[in-house]
Amino acid sequence: MKRTASINRNTTETQINISLDLDGQGDSNVSTGIAFFDHMLILFTVHGFFDLNLAASGDLDVDLHHTVEDVGLVLGGAINKALGDRRGIKRYGHAVTPMDDALTSVTIDLSKRPFLVYNVPYTINASGIFDIQIAKEFFRAFTINGGMNLHINVLYGENQHHILESIFKATGRALDQASMYDERIKSVLSTKGSL
C-alpha cells in the first residue's frame, strides 16, 4: 500500500502545495521562499527517507511566521493523511543526532494525541532570519496536524545553524522509525485497540 498524500492549501496569507511519500528515497524539491528553511526541510526528508515536493509562497514582506507555520500545518497534515489508520506501524521513534557542537534527542509517538515539548537553549545568539523561535512555530503546527507527540531536546550546542540542523535531521530519523511497519503488529500498537 502506497503511503502518500497531496495537499493544497490556499489562504490570503499563503499558498502551499505538498506531495509526500513516506516510503521514498529522500528525494525532495522544496521551495518556500526562505532558503534556510528549504535547507532544513531537505535535511528532514533526506534523513527520514521521505520524498517531498513542496512549493510555498507567502507574505514574506510581513514576516516569516505565516509561511513557516502554514508549511508546518500542511506537512503535518500530509503525514497524518499518508499514515492512514496507522495499523501495523511501530508508532514510536527515537533519534539522537549530532551536528558539530550540537546534540539533539528527538522522540516521537504517532499516537494522534498532539503535544510538543521543545527544550532548546534560548541563550544562544540568534542569527539570520530563521531562528530557534520561528522553528518552534513550525514544529507546533507540524505536531498538531500530524497527530503526534513530539519531544525535541537539544542536549547542548552553541551554533544556531548546527542546533537547527541537528533538530531537523533527528526529527526525520525519529519519524522514519516510528512510521515503519512491524509485521508483529497486526492492528495498532495500543491496548485500547485504536489510536
pLDDT of 1 above 80: no
* Residue where the block lists cell 530557534: 132
- Run of H or E including 146: helix 132-146
Render pLDDT for 98-107 as a digit per residue (tens, 0 to 9).
999 999 999 9
- Confidence grade of residue 37 (pLDDT, cut at 50, 70, 90): very high
What span, in angstroms and rounded, lies between the C-alpha atoms of 84 and 114?
16
Mean pLDDT of 42-71: 96
Q: Residue 121: what pLDDT?
A: 80
Q: Residue 126: what pLDDT?
A: 57
Mean pLDDT of 92-117: 97
Q: Which pTM value belongs to this model?
A: 0.94
| Angle between helix 35-48 and 65-83 (nearest 10) | 20
| Sheet with 92-99, edge to edge strand ranges | 92-99, 102-109, 149-156, 115-119
Domains defined for the chain, CATH in brackets: 4-179 (3.30.230.40)
Strand, coil or helix: what is 20?
strand
- Confidence grade of residue 188 (pLDDT, cut at 50, 70, 90): confident
What span, in angstroms and rounded, lies between the C-alpha atoms of 180 and 95?
14
Render pLDDT for 138-175 as a digit per residue (tens, 0 to 9).
999 999 999 999 999 999 998 999 999 999 999 999 99
Q: Residue 173: what pLDDT?
A: 98
What span, in angstroms and rounded, lies between the C-alpha atoms of 54 and 28?
8
Mean pLDDT of 41-61: 96
